[in-house]
Amino acid sequence: MSRVFRDGLFAGKVAFFTGGTSGIALRIAEVFAELGATVVLNGRKQDKLDAAVAGIAARGGKAAGFACDVRDYGAIAGALARTRETYGPIDFLFCAAAGNFPAPVLGMSANGFKAVVDIDLLGTFNTCRAAHEHLSKPGAVVINISANHGHQAYPLQAHVCAAKAGVDLLTKTLAMEWGPHGIRVNGIAPGPIDDTEGMRRLAPTGADRQRVIGMIPAGRMGTRDDVAQLAVFLCSDAASFLTGAIYRCDGGQALTGPRALAQLEHTSS
Ligand code: COA
């Protein structure tokens, strides 16, 4: 990754990541660790958590992990409390745990819809609600990861669209309520990002992939580093006046309407 941020930018800072064992959140955690932060990862599966923590530690980063499900308020509250006890107040909170499977509404049970809404929306609420008492005040930054699905409809993604729209308005509401506490709350809405579980489940290959890329104004798929760079900026002092906004990181894909990503989902179902 070409780096525009100085070494040690986040030295002494503590960052907590839900959904931190893979994909976008793991890459953000790796970059924050490279910049000096202590990163604490949360995920459901202990083996993935152990591998992610070991990977960061092997490159000289300070990392720890707590396994739990963000749908369980008591469990995520416990993980946040232990983080604060061990490492001190939390400076950066990333809510990135997310669920997904492509299915039309008529092919989705009520429980399937609920599973995704609970992971994405309730999980983000649980994490933010439980974290508040452990955040550095003033100065903490909360970043909730949503998707272009938060402001556009996509076929086969009703559960994700509903959940992400909720996440985005939760983000904006928290920014209003917590601004006076010295906490900034923003959202990042990634578009099609390579090397993520979501795209492994949704994305086509070969000629279909090239056709989809042709509909992205930037002319390429995003990388996890694209999102990590934005996250670094939003957590830096350079962004100290930025709160209550959702930042798209999508190469302009949202401008083309839902066709580009819908194409991905149709071709993979
Ligand atoms: N199509 C339709 N329904 C599906 C499905 C699919 N591909 N995958 C799961 N479901 C349904 C299940 O059938 C179940 O509903 P039911 O009880 O009516 O049968 C419901 O979703 C819950 O599934 P379950 O496996 O019990 O729960 P879970 O808590 O593990 O959640 C996922 C399932 C799929 C939501 C979750 O495991 C997940 O999202 N994993 C992938 C993570 C991922 O891709 N992250 C990146 C997001 S961009």
| CATH at residue 225 | 3.40.50.720
Q: Whose CA is nearest to atom 22 of ligand 1?
A: 112
What is the pLDDT confidence band of residue 261, given thresholds at 50, 70 and 90? low
> Is the CB of 106 inside a 6 Å radius of any atom of ligand 1?
no
Mean pLDDT of 56-63: 98
Total structural domains in the chain? Answer: 1
Query: Is 59 a domain residue?
Result: yes
Distances (CA, A) of 27 to 53, 132, 150, 181: 12, 24, 22, 29
Q: Return the pLDDT at 108.
A: 98
Q: Which atom of ligand 1 is nearest to the CA of 69?
A: 29
pLDDT tens-digit readout, 166-178: 999 999 999 999 9
Q: Which atom of ligand 1 is nearest to the CA of 201?
A: 44
| pLDDT higher at 264 or 187 | 187
Phi-psi group of 248: left, alpha or beta (phi > 0 → left; psi -120 to 50 → alpha; rest → beta): beta
Spacing, Cα 103 to ligand 1 middle (Å):
10
Spacing, Cα 115 to ligand 1 middle (Å):
6
Q: Return the pLDDT at 184.
A: 98
| Token pair 């729209």: residue | 165
Q: Whose CA is nearest to atom 30 of ligand 1?
A: 115
Query: Is 2 a domain residue?
Result: no
Query: Is 80 a domain residue?
Result: yes
Query: Is 83 a domain residue?
Result: yes
Residue 94 has pLDDT above 70, yes or no: yes
Spacing, Cα 104 to ligand 1 middle (Å):
14
Q: Return the pLDDT at 260.
A: 53
Query: Is 4 a domain residue?
Result: no
Query: Across the chain, what does the average pLDDT equal?
Result: 93
Q: Report the candidate in 130, 152, 159, 269 with the shortest Cα–Cα distance to residue 204.
A: 269
Residue 73, domain extent: 14-268
Encode 135-174: b = buried (16+ Cβ within 10 Å), e = exposed.
Answer: bbeeebbbbbbbbbbbebebbbbbbbbbbbbbbbebbbeb
DSSP notation for 217-249? TTSS-B-HHHHHHHHHHHHSGGGTT--S-EEEE
Query: Is 127 a domain residue?
Result: yes
| 225 close to 31: Cβ distance less than 8 angstroms | yes
> Is the CB of 111 inside a 6 Å radius of any atom of ligand 1?
yes
Which tokens is 111 given? 């429980």
Q: Whose CA is nearest to atom 41 of ligand 1?
A: 99
Q: Model-level pTM?
A: 0.94
**CA torsion sign, 247 to 251 to 256 to 260?**
negative
> Is the CB of 40 inside a 6 Å radius of any atom of ligand 1?
no
Q: Whose CA is nearest to atom 5 of ligand 1?
A: 101
Q: Return the pLDDT at 263.
A: 58
Query: Is 55 a domain residue?
Result: yes
Q: Whose CA is nearest to atom 21 of ligand 1?
A: 112
Query: Is 247 a domain residue?
Result: yes
Residue 244 has pLDDT above 80, yes or no: yes
Residue 132 has pLDDT above 60, yes or no: yes
